[in-house]
Structure 1
Amino acid sequence: MRSTSHREQQRVVSKVTYDTTSNKFIGFALPLDDNGFPIANSYSTESFSCLEEWYSNVPRAKSLNAYLIQPLSSAANNTSPFLLSAYGTDNKFESSDVISRWHHIHQKFKAKDIRILGFSTDCDSRYLHAMRASLGFFSTFAYVDHPDLLSIDLPRTWSWFFMQHEQLYICFQDPVHICTKLRNRILSETTHLLLGDQLINIEPLIYMISNYSKLDHALVRSDINPKDRQNYSSAAKISSNNVVALLEKIPNSLGINIYLQ
């Protein structure tokens, strides 16, 4: 069976609670072991002074890291991803922790006769560095002479596509995050984008919403609201074929038209 793994991170309200079932305190940032995995049983104690010390010195978890697994076999085309793990973190780690974690996940699944073909995540610089090392992309390849390397048959005409022909797994950025980041960039009030002498901004979209029927473009004002930074449906709408076609009729829209394509 073949699968891919995806990592998602969400901000959470820092709070420590006591779990009566496991006799653990939940909410402290978990330390990582040599494999980059959180040490689950780190905060269980019967000592009030120990708990007091934790409250004084141990950082609270500020984010929730979740790892999802997506089966890729033909028999599981409609299978939804399932949760592999979730844990609180203070977001303090190194790219080496990420590489160790990915390799450990790969090896554990291999023992169950499941091949992890790839990992995806957002644009955190430490994860991008781990991707580069894992792929050998302008970086020292992390898995030289690994026994489980895959052979990738790239077309000979793809001289522009830089990738080693042997990889342990593939890394790629989460396309939803990429799409929303592209949207947020053009909605930013502090960032100015230029394409040649063409300014890339949302004025043509505002003009479109004000002067064309919603039936033609399906946009509403909230689609260009910069406060909702994770609105993927909005990102998909403003880059739709109908919007791109209408932009050709609007003055001074060449820059954003090319950007959205």
Structure 2
Amino acid sequence: MQNNYPSVVMLMEDATRILQQAQYDAIVYRTLTGCVSPLIENEIPVHRYFDASDAYVVANHLKDCILADTAYVQLALPMAVGAAPFVLYYCGTDNIFRFTDVVNRWKYTEKLLGTEGIDVIGYSSDGDPKLVKAMVSRTVFLPCMEISRWGRWFIVNNEHMPVYIQDSIHLINKIRNRILKADMMIGNFNISKTHLNDLLVHSKDKHGLTVKDLKPQDKMKFTPTEKIMNEELVKFMEANVPECDGTATILRCMQNIHEVFSNVNLSPLERIFKLWYVLFLVRGWRNWIKL
């Protein structure tokens, strides 16, 4: 509110593996951190549950507690150009919870934000099955419609908010990792890492790639993905690498996914056009793409 942002936010959440380790927080709360707290009614961990007021209490906690192996974070992104997300919620967890726990926590978060006049218009996450199931359970689907040209599609009742999406950065990186892992086919067209490797015989200033970009140790590093799907690289590959149509197509699919969710300057029609380009491929994914 202080920044004059609209009173609507997108909530984004993800988890990452951490080393299991209990630590003493002497500065802020005089508690143990790194332990899994029990959940209260709204599926929020009990705050400052592991009191560390004396050595006996600490010893008992360490004897009975479960150490967290996952850090879980939820961010809120104001719907304004240039707005930075801020941490709304974080905790250590053993990642043992149900999709219903996620739904209850979302409802509680929406309620708390609502008391401040802030509306949640959507959720974004990676493909964690619990989160995806929570999204599906809260989405209001209309009956399937038969459209002769496009086949059967689920139609969502968009009068119900919020909306749910898979985080585009995760999605694009997963496609990149799949390309680098094994060859695939779209119809009769090959999708192959070999086409990208063939670029390395040319000067780097022509395509921008390095050997390291095609052997990523960090699967979630996004810089190599940006390089691989760069339009100048795709055009150079089409001009210099034979039979790379399949690879070029999937790279342009990645471009469209990224642009649809990150380019605020796209008009509604441009955004829909690029989404349909992606959906055209995804619709036939099982039939066209073969390992």
- Fold equivalence (TM over 0.5): yes
Residue 182 of structure 1, aligned match among 175, 183, 206: 175
Question: Residue 192 and residue 218 in structure 1: after superposition, are their counterparts in 2 closer, same or farther (change >3 A)?
Answer: closer
Q: Which amino acid aligns with 1:61?
A: A
Q: 2: CA distance between counterparts of 1:110 and 1:168? A: 14
Matches within 5 A, 1:139-158: none
Q: Which amino acid aligns with 1:256?
A: T
Matches within 5 A, 1:3-22: 3-20=9-26, 21-22=28-29
Matches within 5 A, 1:175-214: 175-188=168-181, 191-210=182-201, 212-214=202-204
Q: 2: CA distance between counterparts of 1:34 and 1:183? A: 40
Match of 2:136 in 1: 132
Q: Which amino acid aligns with 1:36?
A: E
Question: Residue 45 and residue 227 in structure 1: after superposition, are their counterparts in 2 closer, same or farther (change >3 A)?
Answer: closer
Matches within 5 A, 1:28-177: 28-44=35-51, 51-72=58-79, 76-137=80-141, 162-177=155-170
Looking at secondary structure, tell me which structure has more helix per residue: 2
Q: 2: CA distance between counterparts of 1:162 and 1:232? A: 32
Aligned residues: 237
Residue 31 of structure 2, aligned match among 24, 27, 31: 24
Asked if residue 247 in structure 1 is aligned to residue 253 in structure 2, the reply is: no
Q: 1: CA distance between counterparts of 2:154 and 2:87? A: 33
- CA shift digits 1:69-92 (9 cap, x unpaired): 1111xxx43221111121111111
Cα RMSD (Å) of the superposition?
2.4
Q: What stretches of structure 1 of length at least 5 have no aligned partner?
A: 140-158
Match of 1:147 in 2: none
Q: Which amino acid aligns with 2:249?
A: I
- CA shift digits 1:38-92 (9 cap, x unpaired): 11232125575654454344321111111111111xxx43221111121111111
Report the secondary structure of 1:228's partner residue. coil
Question: Residue 31 and residue 199 in structure 1: after superposition, are their counterparts in 2 closer, same or farther (change >3 A)?
Answer: farther
Q: What stretches of structure 2 of length at least 5 have no aligned partner?
A: 1-6, 144-151, 253-291
C-alpha contact (below 8 Å) 1:132/1:138 kept by paired residues = no
Q: 1: CA distance between counterparts of 2:49 and 2:103? A: 23
Task: Give 1:8 deviation, angstroms.
Answer: 2.8
C-alpha contact (below 8 Å) 1:95/1:130 kept by paired residues = yes
Match of 1:152 in 2: none
Quick one: percent identity of the two aligned structures? 26
Task: Give 1:96 deviation, angstroms.
Answer: 0.6
Task: Give 1:138 deviation, angstroms.
Answer: 8.6
Residue 206 of structure 2, aligned match among 209, 216, 232: 216
Question: Residue 90 and residue 183 in structure 1: after superposition, are their counterparts in 2 closer, same or farther (change >3 A)?
Answer: same
Question: Residue 123 and residue 209 in structure 1: after superposition, are their counterparts in 2 closer, same or farther (change >3 A)?
Answer: same
